[in-house]
Chains A and B, each alone.
Chain A
Amino acid sequence: MSAALNGLVLTGGHSRRMARDKAALEYGGRSQLERAMSLLAPLVGKSFVSLRSDQLADPQRASYPCIIDLQPDLGPISGIHAALHAEPDCAWLVLACDLPFLDSATVQQLIAERAPEKVATAFLSDFDGKPEPVCAIYEPAARELVDAWIAAGQRCPRALLGQSDIKLLPARSGGALANINTSEEYLRARAQLAPARPAAGTRKVNVQYFAILREQAGRAREELETSAQTALELYEELRIRHGLKLAPEQLRVAINEEFADMSQPLSRGDTIVFLPPVAGG
Protein backbone atom coordinates (compact mmCIF):
# COMPACT_ATOMS: atom_id res chain seq x y z
CA MET A 1 0.00 0.00 0.00
CA SER A 2 1.35 3.39 -0.89
CA ALA A 3 1.90 6.12 1.67
CA ALA A 4 -0.56 8.97 1.94
CA LEU A 5 0.40 11.88 -0.29
CA ASN A 6 0.88 15.39 1.10
CA GLY A 7 1.64 18.54 -0.85
CA LEU A 8 4.45 20.99 -0.22
CA VAL A 9 5.15 24.37 -1.84
CA LEU A 10 8.73 25.53 -1.38
CA THR A 11 8.95 29.21 -0.41
CA GLY A 12 12.08 29.26 1.75
CA GLY A 13 14.35 30.58 -0.96
CA HIS A 14 15.79 34.06 -1.09
CA SER A 15 14.68 34.98 -4.62
CA ARG A 16 18.01 36.77 -4.98
CA ARG A 17 18.02 37.11 -8.75
CA MET A 18 14.42 38.32 -8.68
CA ALA A 19 15.19 40.60 -5.72
CA ARG A 20 11.55 40.11 -4.77
CA ASP A 21 9.67 37.37 -2.99
CA LYS A 22 8.74 34.91 -5.73
CA ALA A 23 5.88 33.53 -3.65
CA ALA A 24 4.23 36.96 -3.68
CA LEU A 25 4.50 37.58 -7.43
CA GLU A 26 1.07 37.91 -8.94
CA TYR A 27 -0.37 36.45 -12.08
CA GLY A 28 -3.89 37.35 -13.08
CA GLY A 29 -4.50 38.85 -9.65
CA ARG A 30 -3.40 35.81 -7.61
CA SER A 31 -0.05 35.27 -5.96
CA GLN A 32 2.16 32.41 -7.07
CA LEU A 33 1.81 30.82 -3.63
CA GLU A 34 -1.96 30.99 -3.76
CA ARG A 35 -1.96 29.50 -7.26
CA ALA A 36 0.30 26.61 -6.25
CA MET A 37 -1.61 25.86 -3.06
CA SER A 38 -4.98 25.85 -4.79
CA LEU A 39 -3.57 23.65 -7.55
CA LEU A 40 -2.44 21.11 -4.95
CA ALA A 41 -5.48 21.20 -2.67
CA PRO A 42 -7.83 18.91 -4.66
CA LEU A 43 -5.06 16.45 -5.57
CA VAL A 44 -3.35 15.64 -2.26
CA GLY A 45 -4.29 14.93 1.36
CA LYS A 46 -2.84 17.92 3.16
CA SER A 47 -0.91 20.85 1.74
CA PHE A 48 1.83 22.83 3.47
CA VAL A 49 4.00 25.83 2.83
CA SER A 50 7.70 25.25 3.33
CA LEU A 51 9.50 28.27 4.77
CA ARG A 52 12.31 29.61 6.91
CA SER A 53 11.52 30.53 10.50
CA ASP A 54 12.12 34.22 9.73
CA GLN A 55 9.30 34.09 7.16
CA LEU A 56 6.62 33.15 9.69
CA ALA A 57 5.66 36.80 10.04
CA ASP A 58 4.56 36.91 6.41
CA PRO A 59 0.76 36.88 6.56
CA GLN A 60 0.38 35.18 3.20
CA ARG A 61 2.54 32.21 4.16
CA ALA A 62 1.07 32.11 7.67
CA SER A 63 -2.42 31.71 6.24
CA TYR A 64 -1.48 28.12 5.32
CA PRO A 65 -0.17 25.20 7.39
CA CYS A 66 3.59 25.69 7.53
CA ILE A 67 6.66 23.50 7.79
CA ILE A 68 9.77 25.32 8.96
CA ASP A 69 13.20 24.43 7.60
CA LEU A 70 15.21 22.37 10.08
CA GLN A 71 18.40 23.05 8.16
CA PRO A 72 17.74 26.35 6.42
CA ASP A 73 19.59 27.97 3.54
CA LEU A 74 20.53 24.79 1.69
CA GLY A 75 18.18 25.58 -1.18
CA PRO A 76 15.14 23.43 -2.08
CA ILE A 77 16.48 20.44 -0.19
CA SER A 78 15.93 22.31 3.10
CA GLY A 79 12.18 22.21 2.56
CA ILE A 80 12.11 18.64 1.27
CA HIS A 81 14.16 17.54 4.28
CA ALA A 82 11.89 19.29 6.78
CA ALA A 83 8.73 17.82 5.25
CA LEU A 84 10.07 14.24 5.23
CA HIS A 85 10.85 14.69 8.92
CA ALA A 86 7.57 16.43 9.78
CA GLU A 87 5.50 13.45 8.62
CA PRO A 88 7.88 10.56 8.00
CA ASP A 89 5.13 8.14 7.01
CA CYS A 90 3.85 10.33 4.22
CA ALA A 91 4.97 10.85 0.68
CA TRP A 92 5.40 14.44 -0.47
CA LEU A 93 4.47 16.07 -3.72
CA VAL A 94 6.90 18.98 -3.78
CA LEU A 95 6.42 22.07 -5.93
CA ALA A 96 8.66 25.08 -6.36
CA CYS A 97 7.00 28.46 -6.13
CA ASP A 98 8.48 29.79 -9.34
CA LEU A 99 6.53 27.63 -11.78
CA PRO A 100 3.82 29.99 -13.02
CA PHE A 101 2.90 27.79 -15.97
CA LEU A 102 2.43 24.62 -13.95
CA ASP A 103 -1.03 23.21 -14.63
CA SER A 104 -3.23 20.68 -12.93
CA ALA A 105 -2.83 18.17 -15.78
CA THR A 106 0.92 18.01 -15.18
CA VAL A 107 0.51 17.39 -11.47
CA GLN A 108 -2.24 14.86 -12.10
CA GLN A 109 0.03 12.96 -14.49
CA LEU A 110 2.76 12.92 -11.86
CA ILE A 111 0.35 11.44 -9.31
CA ALA A 112 -1.12 8.95 -11.78
CA GLU A 113 2.32 7.63 -12.69
CA ARG A 114 3.67 7.67 -9.17
CA ALA A 115 5.76 4.60 -8.26
CA PRO A 116 5.51 4.20 -4.46
CA GLU A 117 8.10 1.41 -4.47
CA LYS A 118 10.71 3.85 -5.78
CA VAL A 119 12.35 6.64 -3.81
CA ALA A 120 10.75 9.31 -5.95
CA THR A 121 8.79 10.01 -9.09
CA ALA A 122 9.92 12.92 -11.25
CA PHE A 123 9.74 14.31 -14.75
CA LEU A 124 12.78 14.50 -16.91
CA SER A 125 13.63 18.15 -17.30
CA ASP A 126 13.58 19.34 -20.90
CA PHE A 127 16.04 21.99 -19.76
CA ASP A 128 19.02 19.84 -18.78
CA GLY A 129 17.89 16.24 -19.32
CA LYS A 130 18.07 15.51 -15.58
CA PRO A 131 15.25 14.74 -13.12
CA GLU A 132 13.20 17.82 -12.16
CA PRO A 133 13.32 17.87 -8.35
CA VAL A 134 10.84 20.61 -7.62
CA CYS A 135 7.80 19.10 -9.28
CA ALA A 136 8.26 15.59 -7.94
CA ILE A 137 6.95 13.06 -5.44
CA TYR A 138 9.27 11.95 -2.65
CA GLU A 139 8.38 8.69 -0.91
CA PRO A 140 9.07 8.13 2.82
CA ALA A 141 12.17 6.16 1.81
CA ALA A 142 13.69 9.38 0.48
CA ARG A 143 14.19 10.66 4.02
CA GLU A 144 17.31 8.65 4.78
CA LEU A 145 18.81 9.50 1.42
CA VAL A 146 18.18 13.21 1.95
CA ASP A 147 19.64 13.05 5.45
CA ALA A 148 22.77 11.35 4.15
CA TRP A 149 22.99 13.75 1.22
CA ILE A 150 22.96 16.78 3.53
CA ALA A 151 25.33 15.10 6.00
CA ALA A 152 27.76 14.58 3.13
CA GLY A 153 27.73 18.28 2.45
CA GLN A 154 25.64 17.96 -0.70
CA ARG A 155 22.69 20.17 -1.55
CA CYS A 156 21.48 19.68 -5.08
CA PRO A 157 18.29 17.60 -5.10
CA ARG A 158 18.61 17.21 -8.88
CA ALA A 159 21.90 15.38 -8.42
CA LEU A 160 20.43 13.29 -5.61
CA LEU A 161 17.54 12.15 -7.78
CA GLY A 162 19.96 11.53 -10.63
CA GLN A 163 21.79 8.86 -8.66
CA SER A 164 18.78 7.38 -6.83
CA ASP A 165 16.31 4.66 -7.72
CA ILE A 166 13.49 6.80 -8.99
CA LYS A 167 10.77 6.55 -11.59
CA LEU A 168 11.58 9.02 -14.32
CA LEU A 169 8.76 10.31 -16.48
CA PRO A 170 9.38 11.70 -19.97
CA ALA A 171 9.78 15.46 -20.15
CA ARG A 172 6.48 17.22 -19.99
CA SER A 173 6.02 19.25 -23.14
CA GLY A 174 4.43 22.66 -23.37
CA GLY A 175 6.62 24.52 -20.91
CA ALA A 176 4.58 23.65 -17.82
CA LEU A 177 7.77 23.28 -15.81
CA ALA A 178 9.44 26.47 -16.99
CA ASN A 179 10.59 28.47 -14.00
CA ILE A 180 11.25 32.18 -13.70
CA ASN A 181 14.20 33.83 -12.05
CA THR A 182 14.42 37.37 -13.31
CA SER A 183 12.15 40.38 -13.51
CA GLU A 184 12.04 40.12 -17.28
CA GLU A 185 10.95 36.50 -17.12
CA TYR A 186 8.28 37.46 -14.60
CA LEU A 187 6.89 40.24 -16.78
CA ARG A 188 6.74 37.92 -19.79
CA ALA A 189 5.06 35.18 -17.78
CA ARG A 190 2.58 37.58 -16.27
CA ALA A 191 1.65 38.93 -19.68
CA GLN A 192 1.09 35.40 -20.97
CA LEU A 193 -1.02 34.45 -17.98
CA ALA A 194 -3.09 37.62 -17.83
CA PRO A 195 -6.77 36.68 -17.81
CA ALA A 196 -8.73 37.62 -20.89
CA ARG A 197 -10.95 40.33 -19.48
CA PRO A 198 -13.23 42.42 -21.67
CA ALA A 199 -11.18 45.51 -20.87
CA ALA A 200 -7.89 43.69 -21.27
CA GLY A 201 -5.23 44.60 -23.73
CA THR A 202 -2.60 47.20 -23.48
CA ARG A 203 -2.88 50.96 -23.37
CA LYS A 204 -0.44 53.76 -23.82
CA VAL A 205 0.00 55.95 -20.75
CA ASN A 206 2.37 58.67 -19.63
CA VAL A 207 4.23 58.45 -16.35
CA GLN A 208 6.00 61.33 -14.64
CA TYR A 209 8.51 60.80 -11.86
CA PHE A 210 9.42 63.20 -9.08
CA ALA A 211 12.02 63.39 -6.34
CA ILE A 212 13.27 60.03 -5.09
CA LEU A 213 11.28 58.10 -7.71
CA ARG A 214 12.75 60.26 -10.48
CA GLU A 215 16.23 59.45 -9.25
CA GLN A 216 15.51 55.74 -8.90
CA ALA A 217 13.81 55.51 -12.30
CA GLY A 218 16.59 57.55 -13.89
CA ARG A 219 14.09 59.65 -15.82
CA ALA A 220 11.51 62.37 -15.29
CA ARG A 221 8.89 60.97 -17.63
CA GLU A 222 8.16 58.19 -20.06
CA GLU A 223 5.45 57.02 -22.35
CA LEU A 224 4.77 53.33 -22.19
CA GLU A 225 2.48 50.58 -23.32
CA THR A 226 1.15 48.65 -20.36
CA SER A 227 -1.21 45.79 -19.65
CA ALA A 228 -1.72 47.11 -16.12
CA GLN A 229 -5.38 47.70 -15.39
CA THR A 230 -4.95 49.92 -12.36
CA ALA A 231 -2.47 52.40 -10.98
CA LEU A 232 -1.34 49.82 -8.45
CA GLU A 233 -0.65 47.23 -11.15
CA LEU A 234 1.24 49.85 -13.12
CA TYR A 235 3.37 50.68 -10.10
CA GLU A 236 4.20 47.01 -9.56
CA GLU A 237 5.28 46.81 -13.17
CA LEU A 238 7.43 49.94 -12.94
CA ARG A 239 8.83 48.89 -9.61
CA ILE A 240 10.30 45.81 -11.20
CA ARG A 241 11.35 47.50 -14.39
CA HIS A 242 13.19 50.39 -12.73
CA GLY A 243 14.10 48.89 -9.37
CA LEU A 244 11.95 51.39 -7.48
CA LYS A 245 12.36 50.91 -3.76
CA LEU A 246 9.27 52.48 -2.25
CA ALA A 247 6.45 50.11 -1.41
CA PRO A 248 3.06 50.98 -2.94
CA GLU A 249 1.62 51.55 0.54
CA GLN A 250 3.98 54.51 0.91
CA LEU A 251 2.70 56.24 -2.19
CA ARG A 252 -0.23 58.26 -3.32
CA VAL A 253 -1.10 58.52 -6.96
CA ALA A 254 -2.26 61.36 -9.16
CA ILE A 255 -3.97 60.67 -12.46
CA ASN A 256 -4.30 63.57 -14.88
CA GLU A 257 -3.15 66.07 -12.26
CA GLU A 258 -5.62 65.05 -9.58
CA PHE A 259 -5.31 62.70 -6.62
CA ALA A 260 -6.74 59.28 -7.37
CA ASP A 261 -7.12 55.87 -5.79
CA MET A 262 -4.45 53.24 -6.46
CA SER A 263 -7.22 50.90 -7.59
CA GLN A 264 -8.51 53.34 -10.18
CA PRO A 265 -8.65 51.77 -13.65
CA LEU A 266 -6.31 53.32 -16.18
CA SER A 267 -7.44 54.74 -19.49
CA ARG A 268 -5.50 55.30 -22.67
CA GLY A 269 -3.56 58.53 -22.59
CA ASP A 270 -3.70 58.97 -18.81
CA THR A 271 -0.82 60.77 -17.17
CA ILE A 272 0.11 59.04 -13.94
CA VAL A 273 2.30 60.41 -11.18
CA PHE A 274 3.23 58.28 -8.19
CA LEU A 275 3.75 60.59 -5.23
CA PRO A 276 6.41 59.69 -2.65
CA PRO A 277 5.86 60.91 0.92
CA VAL A 278 5.81 64.70 0.72
CA ALA A 279 7.97 67.09 2.72
CA GLY A 280 7.11 70.70 2.00
CA GLY A 281 7.71 73.52 4.44
Chain B
Amino acid sequence: MNEFRLSAEPFSGETLRTLLADPACGGFVSFEGWVRDHNEGQRVSGLEYEAFAPLARREGERILIEARERFSVRHALCVHRVGALQLGDLAVYVAVSAPHRDEAFRACRYIIDEVKHRVPIWKKEHYVDGNSGWVNCERCAVSASSGLTASNSPHRHSHEH
Protein backbone atom coordinates (compact mmCIF):
# COMPACT_ATOMS: atom_id res chain seq x y z
CA MET B 1 0.00 0.00 0.00
CA ASN B 2 1.03 3.56 -0.59
CA GLU B 3 -1.43 6.06 0.71
CA PHE B 4 -1.55 9.56 2.13
CA ARG B 5 -4.84 10.46 3.81
CA LEU B 6 -6.35 13.48 5.45
CA SER B 7 -8.75 12.78 8.28
CA ALA B 8 -11.28 15.23 9.68
CA GLU B 9 -12.10 12.72 12.43
CA PRO B 10 -9.95 11.36 15.26
CA PHE B 11 -8.36 8.01 14.46
CA SER B 12 -5.98 5.57 16.09
CA GLY B 13 -2.78 3.98 14.84
CA GLU B 14 -3.89 0.63 16.21
CA THR B 15 -6.61 0.31 13.61
CA LEU B 16 -4.28 1.24 10.76
CA ARG B 17 -1.20 -0.90 11.36
CA THR B 18 -2.78 -4.07 10.04
CA LEU B 19 -2.98 -2.39 6.62
CA LEU B 20 0.79 -2.74 6.36
CA ALA B 21 0.99 -6.42 7.26
CA ASP B 22 2.95 -8.44 4.70
CA PRO B 23 4.59 -11.88 5.07
CA ALA B 24 7.63 -10.48 3.22
CA CYS B 25 8.15 -7.79 5.85
CA GLY B 26 10.10 -8.37 9.03
CA GLY B 27 10.11 -4.79 10.21
CA PHE B 28 7.33 -2.34 10.98
CA VAL B 29 7.96 1.21 12.22
CA SER B 30 5.37 3.83 13.00
CA PHE B 31 5.50 7.39 14.24
CA GLU B 32 2.73 9.30 15.97
CA GLY B 33 2.76 13.08 16.33
CA TRP B 34 0.64 14.29 19.26
CA VAL B 35 -0.61 17.75 20.17
CA ARG B 36 1.77 19.12 22.80
CA ASP B 37 0.91 21.62 25.53
CA HIS B 38 3.70 24.06 24.68
CA ASN B 39 5.58 25.46 21.71
CA GLU B 40 8.42 27.95 21.61
CA GLY B 41 7.82 29.16 25.14
CA GLN B 42 4.05 29.49 24.85
CA ARG B 43 1.45 27.32 26.56
CA VAL B 44 -0.72 25.73 23.91
CA SER B 45 -4.37 24.97 24.62
CA GLY B 46 -5.30 23.43 21.26
CA LEU B 47 -4.77 23.76 17.55
CA GLU B 48 -6.30 23.60 14.11
CA TYR B 49 -4.96 22.07 10.94
CA GLU B 50 -6.03 23.27 7.54
CA ALA B 51 -5.01 21.61 4.28
CA PHE B 52 -5.21 22.32 0.59
CA ALA B 53 -6.53 18.81 0.22
CA PRO B 54 -5.98 17.85 -3.43
CA LEU B 55 -2.39 19.04 -3.49
CA ALA B 56 -1.70 17.75 0.04
CA ARG B 57 -2.72 14.24 -1.02
CA ARG B 58 -0.72 14.45 -4.22
CA GLU B 59 2.44 15.75 -2.55
CA GLY B 60 1.99 13.35 0.36
CA GLU B 61 1.83 10.37 -1.99
CA ARG B 62 4.88 11.60 -3.85
CA ILE B 63 6.77 11.56 -0.55
CA LEU B 64 5.63 8.01 0.18
CA ILE B 65 6.73 6.87 -3.27
CA GLU B 66 10.12 8.52 -2.74
CA ALA B 67 10.51 6.74 0.59
CA ARG B 68 9.66 3.39 -0.94
CA GLU B 69 12.14 3.90 -3.75
CA ARG B 70 14.97 5.15 -1.54
CA PHE B 71 14.67 2.70 1.30
CA SER B 72 13.14 -0.40 -0.28
CA VAL B 73 10.15 -0.41 2.00
CA ARG B 74 7.12 -2.32 0.73
CA HIS B 75 4.30 -0.36 2.31
CA ALA B 76 3.96 3.19 3.50
CA LEU B 77 1.00 5.04 5.00
CA CYS B 78 0.57 8.53 6.35
CA VAL B 79 -2.61 9.98 7.84
CA HIS B 80 -2.80 13.63 8.84
CA ARG B 81 -5.58 15.19 10.87
CA VAL B 82 -7.35 18.37 9.79
CA GLY B 83 -9.75 20.45 11.84
CA ALA B 84 -9.71 21.27 15.55
CA LEU B 85 -7.51 19.16 17.83
CA GLN B 86 -7.11 19.04 21.59
CA LEU B 87 -4.03 18.40 23.68
CA GLY B 88 -2.86 14.81 23.36
CA ASP B 89 -4.77 14.17 20.15
CA LEU B 90 -3.08 12.21 17.42
CA ALA B 91 -2.12 14.77 14.73
CA VAL B 92 -0.15 12.68 12.26
CA TYR B 93 0.53 8.98 11.84
CA VAL B 94 3.28 7.49 9.68
CA ALA B 95 3.81 3.76 9.24
CA VAL B 96 6.06 1.69 7.01
CA SER B 97 6.80 -1.99 6.68
CA ALA B 98 9.93 -3.40 5.07
CA PRO B 99 11.86 -6.64 4.86
CA HIS B 100 14.39 -5.26 7.38
CA ARG B 101 14.18 -2.83 10.30
CA ASP B 102 16.88 -0.42 9.21
CA GLU B 103 15.07 0.62 6.04
CA ALA B 104 11.82 0.88 7.95
CA PHE B 105 13.29 3.27 10.53
CA ARG B 106 14.94 5.45 7.92
CA ALA B 107 11.88 5.58 5.67
CA CYS B 108 9.61 6.53 8.56
CA ARG B 109 11.93 9.36 9.55
CA TYR B 110 12.18 10.55 5.95
CA ILE B 111 8.42 10.63 5.51
CA ILE B 112 7.60 12.66 8.61
CA ASP B 113 10.40 15.16 7.91
CA GLU B 114 9.33 15.67 4.30
CA VAL B 115 5.64 15.90 5.19
CA LYS B 116 6.32 18.71 7.64
CA HIS B 117 8.20 20.72 5.04
CA ARG B 118 6.41 20.06 1.78
CA VAL B 119 2.75 19.17 2.21
CA PRO B 120 0.36 22.16 2.09
CA ILE B 121 -0.98 21.80 5.62
CA TRP B 122 -1.09 24.72 8.02
CA LYS B 123 -1.26 24.76 11.80
CA LYS B 124 -2.91 27.41 13.91
CA GLU B 125 -1.99 27.25 17.56
CA HIS B 126 -4.31 28.52 20.26
CA TYR B 127 -2.56 29.60 23.43
CA VAL B 128 -3.59 29.55 27.05
CA ASP B 129 -3.28 33.34 27.18
CA GLY B 130 -6.05 33.67 24.58
CA ASN B 131 -3.82 34.50 21.60
CA SER B 132 -3.45 32.36 18.52
CA GLY B 133 -1.16 32.23 15.53
CA TRP B 134 -0.33 30.38 12.33
CA VAL B 135 2.91 28.52 12.87
CA ASN B 136 5.79 29.68 10.61
CA CYS B 137 3.66 32.56 9.28
CA GLU B 138 3.05 35.16 11.94
CA ARG B 139 6.58 36.06 12.85
CA CYS B 140 7.89 36.04 9.31
CA ALA B 141 4.97 38.21 8.25
CA VAL B 142 6.01 40.79 10.79
CA SER B 143 9.63 40.80 9.76
CA ALA B 144 8.81 40.94 6.08
CA SER B 145 6.56 43.93 6.43
CA SER B 146 8.37 45.84 9.11
CA GLY B 147 10.38 47.92 6.67
CA LEU B 148 7.44 49.43 4.90
CA THR B 149 4.16 48.65 6.56
CA ALA B 150 5.06 48.52 10.19
CA SER B 151 1.77 50.05 11.25
CA ASN B 152 0.19 46.67 11.93
CA SER B 153 3.21 45.02 13.48
CA PRO B 154 3.74 44.84 17.21
CA HIS B 155 7.16 46.44 17.05
CA ARG B 156 6.90 49.59 15.03
CA HIS B 157 9.91 51.09 13.44
CA SER B 158 11.23 54.24 14.94
CA HIS B 159 10.34 56.24 11.83
CA GLU B 160 6.63 55.52 12.15
CA HIS B 161 5.61 58.33 14.44
Contacts and interface: CB of A to CB of B under 8 A. Distances in A.
Chain A partners chain B = yes
Interface of A: 14-16, 19-21, 52, 54, 73, 208, 210-212, 214-215, 245-247, 249-250, 254, 257-259, 273, 275-281
A52 B117 CA distance: 39
B148 interface: yes
A245 B144 contact: yes
Contact of A277 (B49, B50, B137): B137
B83 interface: no
B116 A279 contact: yes
A19 B151 contact: yes
Nearest to A214: B50
Nearest to A213: B137
Taking residues whose C-beta sits less than 8 angstroms from the other chain, chain B's interface range is 35 or more
A246 B140 contact: yes
Interface in B18-67: 33, 49-52, 54-55, 58-59
Q: Which of B52, B54, B91, B123 has the most CB of A within 10 A?
A: B52
A18 to B, nearest CB: 9
A26 to B, nearest CB: 14
A281 B55 contact: no
B140 A277 contact: yes
Given A20-B149, A210-B122, A257-B54, 4 more contacts: A21-B147, A245-B144, A258-B58, A280-B121
How would you classify the secondary structure of chain A's contact residues: helix, strand, loop or mixed? loop
B99 interface: no
Contacts of A273: 52, 55, 120
B152 A280 contact: no
B131 interface: no
A281 B91 contact: yes
Interface centre among B112, B140, B148 (most CB of A within 10 A): B148
B49 to A, nearest CB: 7
B134 A211 contact: yes
A15 B148 contact: yes
23 contacts: A21-B148, A52-B159, A54-B159, A73-B159, A210-B50, A210-B122, A211-B50, A212-B122, A212-B138, A214-B50, A215-B134, A245-B145, A250-B137, A254-B120, A273-B52, A278-B116, A278-B118, A278-B121, A280-B80, A280-B123, A281-B91, A281-B115, A281-B116
A208 B116 contact: no
B52 A247 contact: no
B145 A278 contact: no
B135 interface: yes
Contact of A278 (B33, B112, B120): B120
A278 to B, nearest CB: 6
B159 A278 contact: no
